[in-house]
Structure 1
Amino acid sequence: MVRTFVLMAAMTALVGVFGLFLGGETGLAVALVFAFGMNFFAYWNSDKVVLRMHDAREIDARSAPDLYRMTEELARNAGLPMPKLFILETEQPNAFATGRNPDNAAVAVTRGLLGSMNREEVAGVVAHELAHIKNRDTLTMTITATLAGAVSMLANFALFFGGGRDRPMGLVGTIAMMILAPLAAGMVQMAISRTREYEADKAGAAICGNPLWLASALQRLGQLSGRIDNIAAERNPATAHMFIINPLHMQAYDSLFATHPPVEKRIAALRALAGQETRRAADGPWR
């Protein structure tokens, strides 16, 4: 909750500065009202917004029995309630989790993930997403996606804001804020997401019981995801940090939202973790 409060305060300040540069004191007041409204909306509805952005379709035990049973078992291992499950109709293998708390959480996997991974690899990916839920990352990450998208939207419409005499920097300031505001939002995303991926990898390995399952999945994701477009993610780049691996690669500005640590480092960390567990098992309980 503290992390979420700090995030919302930072994004509110960013929107406020944006309004100040665009419209002076009047712009600041309007921007703060907008930011508080967005914060309230994001807390209660950001998960639904993100799922809608990616045209997610809910599934259940009847429509996807194998995936549902696997997720149910992994959720028990993690000590979590069963999350809602969604399918994203894209051939790019990927996944993300969302929701404001474990009781209102969802895991979304792509059609491409189910078609290109074996059962152990899918389990590793789902366990990683459940780890985000268990660590309560999903609220922060989803709110970040919603607010960063709002900042980018304001930047895109910046030239249509009234100029007036109270705009401190005129056209130059507007253009600067159009560039800097989305960049600042992207920096907030990077600060939030990168370390959490390592933590979710480690916790996910414990949930599924084998770090090498997730390591194998990440290796395959790294090979395949860069070759297959995820059109919904490209249209909504502010949600990129939510995925297990960066879904963006079509456009030059995607690098602003490169919120994930290198796949090779994540795989190396998981293999090292597997080696530690093997050594502990070989040493026996008295070592």
Structure 2
Amino acid sequence: MRRIALFIGTNLAVLLLLSIVCHLFGIDRMAAARGYGGMTGLLVYAAVFGMGGAFISLAMSKMIAKWSTHARVITQPQNETERWLVDTVRRHAQNAGIGMPEVAIYEAPEMNAFATGMTRNSALVAVSSGLLQQMDREQVGAVLGHEIGHVANGDMVTLTLIQGVLNTLVILAARIVGQLVDSWLSGGRNDNRGGGGIGYFVVVMVLQVVFGLFASIIVAAFSRWREFRADTAGAQFAGRGAMISALQRLKGNHGESTLPQTIAAFGISGPLTDGLKRLFMSHPPLDERIAALQNAS
């Protein structure tokens, strides 16, 4: 539950922080005073902050991933395992028709891997030391195929676009409703040229939390769907049996993942939960993923 709360909180914190900064520095009021208070201006304002924040995060994703996991990029393989790892990623990348990603290893006890990057031709694929130690090469090759599938499918960019559009809609909807409520509270005397009163500010803050929760559900749903697609890619590049075997081996993971929350959704597996909390899961259950591969024609 802690990781789910952090996942939701990260998205909401960005929106709340932007709103507070805009309010404190009078950006809302300046925009309204200059005639940007109409629907078109509000939409542009929401898009700049909603899409801008998402793409800034994407542009920094590789740097943040390397820094937060202390991943060591393999520039010159130091042993046979590293040479095999780089060669396998290169082969999968060539088969997928994408540029050669950076390949890295990070120290972690659990079996995990992730891919991130701004474009399909400038990605990073990283594997944990635990994955290399606890899986055979056939299984590791399938995991690498899964991660290359994410890159080839453009999942990082698509996820960013979805998050950006939803952030924009959250900002837009919260302010429209906030203006209506503030106008009602003021008896229609507030024309919003001053940026709205306290009622407007409170309503916007609350609604961004509420709407942000619904946005997180949509993002999580797409994240789960893309895992099935990446599994299919892993089966294509390394063989269906190898991909199924790798997913079955992943069931041997115990405890919380050590991946930082900023990139946890990019890992090959995620935490399981039940009830309403399933709506916020970034990964579908491993049993469902295995069944999907077994039933694929």
Q: Structure 2-normalised TM-score?
A: 0.65
* Corresponding position of 2:71: 56
* Corresponding position of 1:19: 19
Task: Give matches, 1:1-287, under 5 Å.
Answer: 15=15, 19=19, 23=23, 34-35=49-50, 37-63=52-78, 64-141=82-159, 166-168=197-199, 174=205, 176=206, 179-180=209-210, 183-208=213-238, 210-224=239-253, 227-233=254-260, 236=261, 238-246=262-270, 248=271, 257-273=280-296, 276=297
8 Å CA contact 1:141–1:242 kept in 2: the answer is: no
Task: Say which structure is richer in helix.
Answer: 1
- Unpaired runs of at least 5, structure 2: 1-10, 32-44, 168-194
The one-letter code matched in structure 2 to 1:107 is: V
8 Å CA contact 2:100–2:122 kept in 1: the answer is: no
Q: Give distance in 1, aligned partners of 2:166 and 2:112.
A: 21
Q: 1:264 to 1:132 in 2, by over 3 A?
A: same
Q: Give distance in 2, aligned partners of 1:126 and 1:65.
A: 14
Q: How many residues align?
A: 238
8 Å CA contact 2:59–2:117 kept in 1: the answer is: no
- 1:49-84 deviation per Cα after TM superposition (whole angstroms, max 9, x unaligned): 233333322123413212112212222222332210
- Rg larger in structure: 2
* Corresponding position of 1:284: none
CA deviation after TM superposition for structure 1 residue 129, in Å: 0.7
- Unpaired runs of at least 5, structure 1: 1-10, 150-163, 277-287
**Cα RMSD (Å):** 4.0
SS for the counterpart of 1:245 is coil
Which region of structure 1 is more displaced relative to structure 2, 125-134 or 49-58? 49-58
Percent identity over paired residues: 32
SS for the counterpart of 1:215 is helix
Q: 1:87 to 1:249 in 2, by over 3 A?
A: farther
Q: Give distance in 1, aligned partners of 2:197 and 2:27.
A: 8
8 Å CA contact 1:145–1:239 kept in 2: the answer is: no
SS for the counterpart of 2:241 is helix
Q: Structure 1-normalised TM-score?
A: 0.67
